[in-house]
């Protein structure tokens, strides 16, 4: 279905963005952790500027993702509602036809089975789509938490980049802790994305649809 493909493309792009952000956070976390453990840490002004730029870029990327997701949410909810109504009417009419004209012919029996299997496949797809657009998995909550964390340190590093003094050691330790939390949020968000789960189910659904289409 076009709706499934559209959501999968959107999800793939979102996964790529979050993966890039997670890798960027890991890079800075490794750098800051190493410096914080040194007896004589060397925190350079350019490092703060680069960290600030990355934090700001990641936050803006995720905010755009949220806006895009909101638009997709409304569109998908509308399409899901329309699809459910069409499916319900089609199944009701088809079942009525089979009940009025029962036949022991193998073709008719296979048709009934194909209809039931199609109902199961489409219903499963609708459930998966509903989970994604309604954020029952909690992915949107994780992304929102990550954005809030990034925005907090965008402001803190912005205050430092415009001044001559460097960040204090305690601030670097707090930034390390914040990046560690941000890394965990990004990793958890990637794990919640239903790509892998839906891929396996989608493959099985494709086989079912192909099999019963040939009947």
Domain boundaries, the chain: 2-214
Give CA–CA dist 118/90, Å, rounded: 11
C-alpha distance across the termini of the chain, in Å: 20
Q: How far is CA 182 from CA 148, 165, 178, 213, in A?
A: 10, 26, 6, 47
C-alpha 199/C-alpha 49 separation (Å) is 41
Instruction: State yes or no: pLDDT of 54 exceeds 70.
Output: yes
Across the chain, mean pLDDT equals 75
28 pLDDT above the threshold of 60: yes
Please report the pLDDT score of residue 20 as a whole number. 94
Asked if residue 202 has pLDDT above 60, the reply is no
Residue 201 or 145, more confident: 145
Q: How far is CA 161 from the centre of its chain?
A: 33
pLDDT score, position 1 = 56
**In this predicted model, what pLDDT tens digit does every residue of 93-137 receive, in sequence order?**
776 776 666 655 555 566 666 666 766 766 776 776 666 666 666
Domain 2-214: CATH architecture, name and number where available? Orthogonal Bundle (1.10)
Q: For residues 153 and 175, is the Cβ–Cβ distance under 8 A?
A: yes
More confident: 96 or 164: 96
Whether residue 31 is predicted with pLDDT greater than 80 in this model: the reply is yes
| Residue, of 120 and 18, whose pLDDT is higher | 18
Q: How far is 61 from 128, CA to CA, in rounded Å? A: 26
Regarding predicted confidence, which is higher, 35 or 65? Answer: 35
- The helix (H) or strand (E) run that includes residue 86 is helix 45-100
CB 25 within 8 A of CB 182: yes
CA 74, CA 26: separation in Å to the nearest integer?
Answer: 34
What local confidence, expressed as pLDDT, does residue 181 receive? Answer: 96
Residues 118 and 209: beta-carbon distance below 8 Å: yes
Percentages helix, strand, coil for the chain (3-state, rounded to 5) are 85, 0, 15
Listed range (31-45, 116-130, 155-169, 191-205) with the worst mean pLDDT: 191-205
Please check the confidence at residue 212 and state whether its pLDDT lies above 50: no
């Amino acid at each position: 279905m076009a709706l499934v493909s559209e959501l999968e493309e959107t999800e793939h792009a979102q996964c790529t963005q979050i993966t890039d952000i997670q890798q960027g956070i890991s890079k800075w976390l490794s750098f800051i952790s190493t410096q914080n453990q040194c007896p004589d840490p060397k925190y350079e002004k350019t490092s703060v500027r680069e960290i600030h730029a990355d934090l700001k870029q990641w936050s803006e990327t995720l905010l755009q993702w949220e806006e895009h997701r909101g638009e997709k949410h409304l569109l998908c909810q509308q399409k899901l509602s329309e699809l459910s109504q069409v499916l319900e009417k089609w199944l009701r009419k088809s079942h009525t036809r089979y009940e009025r004209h029962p036949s022991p012919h193998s073709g008719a029996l296979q048709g009934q089975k194909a209809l039931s299997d199609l109902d199961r496949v489409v219903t499963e797809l609708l459930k998966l789509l509903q989970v994604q657009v309604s954020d029952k998995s909690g992915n949107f909550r994780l992304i929102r938490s990550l954005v809030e964390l990034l925005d907090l340190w965008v402001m803190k590093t912005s205050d430092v980049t415009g001044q001559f003094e460097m960040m204090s050691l305690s601030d670097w330790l707090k930034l390390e802790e914040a990046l560690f939390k941000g890394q965990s949020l990004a990793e958890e968000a990637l794990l919640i994305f239903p790509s892998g789960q839906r891929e396996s189910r989608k493959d099985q659904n494709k086989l079912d649809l192909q099999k019963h289409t040939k009947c």
